Each structure stands twice: as C-alpha cells, then as structure tokens.
Amino acid sequence: MPARRDASRWDPLFRVSGIAGILFVLSGAAALVLYSISAPPVSGGEATLRFVADHKASYVAQQILWLVPSLFGLVVFVALLVALFAASPSLSVLGFTVGAASWTALLAVPVTSEGTLSLVYLSDQYRATADSVARSSFVAAAEALIAQNNTVSLAGALTPLGILLISLPMLRGPFAGWAGWLGIGTGALGLFAEALRFSAPVLYTGYGPLLWLWFAVVGVSLLRLPRRDCSPRPA
C-alpha cells in the first residue's frame, strides 16, 4: 500500500500522457486525410512551390499535423520511463533516451517526409516576384528541401528503435504483455522500413498503422495505469 501511494503522485502525468498518445493517433489520421485529398508533389521545386501556393491552407495544416505528434510522442516516452523504471531501469532509460532524441530532433528540425513549412515561405516569395533570376533561386532552395525530405534521416531510424527498446521492459511492467510484443514488432518493422525506405516503400504501409496502433494501446494503458499496480511482474 505505501508503494502504491508513492506511485500515485505520477497519476496526473499518466493521464496527460495517455491523452497525448491518443492525440498522436488522431493528429496523424487527420494529416493522412488531408494528404489523400491534396497530396503535394514528391519532386520538382517549381511544381512544389506552385502547389503550395494553390493549396496553402491545406499544406500548412498537413505540416502542423505531422509535426505536432512529435510533442505528444515525447510526453508519452516520459511517462513510459516513469512507469517502466521499476521493471528495468537500464532498458527504460535507454529506450527513453533514444525515443526522446527522435522526437526532439523532429521538433528541432521541422522537416517531415511529406514536406516542410519552409516551403511555404519560399512559395510566397516565388509567387510575389516576376524576376526570373530570383525565381530560379527559390526553386533551387525548394529542390534542396525536397532532397532533404527524400533522404533517410537519423531521426526517422531512432523512432522505431526507441519504440523497440522501450517496449522490452513492457513485457514485465504494469502493461499487458502483448502490448510489449506489439511495440517490439512495430519497432523492428520500422527499422526495416526506414532502412529500405526507397527500395521497399511498401513496408511503410505496415509500419504506419502499427505505429498508430501502438500509441493508441499505450495511450489507453496509461489512462488506466493510475488504477493499477505499477510493480513489475515476475520474469
């Protein structure tokens, strides 16, 4: 009983992070809906700048909805560190460090695989000038950003690695064991998807839904955690 009373001080964190996990899924789903309605070009600087200018509101909303989940992911990993520390201090700290680094990197360098808000500024400047030399410079800058989007990033690989590592102590922590196995499978598939991003893009069709499913499961589990015993289960 005393241990449970000590753990109760984390209940607000678990509730907030549980909501964050669910919002992670809802934000991604909303971004996917907008993307399916008006998908930006995957190449071509001038075509991209023209597209952004013609679909500015939708494009800005997409980028925000792709980036905001990074903050939600960071909150979830903080709560997982607290909840799983008793089950495995080393693995929980390692998983949190890797996962938090991935979400922090995405917030620090706001470039998603579907674009970046920097293209909005370039699009406005491109549309505002008729000077061919100036337009060429904006197109070149857009090409550079598009190339960055289409390059495998370290942050992209750290995300599934962090999920895999933080899911290992979930096998003994206060979560359902199958949730840990779901995270391990999601992280492993995500690593392959990131490594083979261009040669086997079909892997993302499996990794994306599993990522959302894992965050949904973790979010619901964190919301229920204040009513459960946080002590580790026997190995």
| In contact, 171 and 177? CB cutoff 8 Å | yes
pLDDT of residue 213: 95
Residue 191 has pLDDT above 70, yes or no: yes
Residue 2 has pLDDT above 50, yes or no: no
CA distances from 107 to 19, 81, 110, 135, 141 (A): 20, 20, 5, 29, 21
State pLDDT tens for residues 84-134: 998 889 999 999 999 888 888 777 766 666 778 888 888 888 888 888 888
Chain centre distance of CA 109 = 13
Q: Mean of the pLDDT values across residues 64-87? A: 91
Please give the Cα distance from 234 to 183 (Å, whole number).
20
pLDDT of residue 47: 87
Residue 80 has pLDDT above 70, yes or no: yes
pLDDT of residue 232: 52
pLDDT of residue 3: 41
pLDDT of residue 11: 84
Of 173 and 64, which is predicted with more confidence? Answer: 64
Q: Mean of the pLDDT values across residues 162-176? A: 90
62-71, 75-84, 139-148, 220-229: lowest mean pLDDT where?
A: 220-229
Residue 216 has pLDDT above 90, yes or no: yes
Question: Measuring CA to CA, which residue among 61, 1, 2, 53 is closest to residue 28?
Answer: 61
Of 229 and 140, which is predicted with more confidence? Answer: 140
Three-state secondary structure call for residue 111: strand
State pLDDT tens for residues 4-58: 444 567 788 899 999 999 999 999 899 889 888 887 777 678 888 888 888 889 8
Which run of H or E residues covers position 24?
A: helix 11-37
| In contact, 35 and 62? CB cutoff 8 Å | yes
Question: Measuring CA to CA, which residue among 220, 155, 160, 159 is closest to residue 186?
Answer: 160
pLDDT of residue 110: 65
- Burial classification of residue 74, based on how many CB atoms lie within 10 Å of its CB (0-12 exposed, 13-18 middle, 19 or more buried): buried
pLDDT of residue 157: 83
Percent of the chain topping pLDDT 90: 33
Cα torsion at 171, 177, 181, 183 (round to 10°)?
-80
| In contact, 207 and 186? CB cutoff 8 Å | yes
pLDDT of residue 228: 53
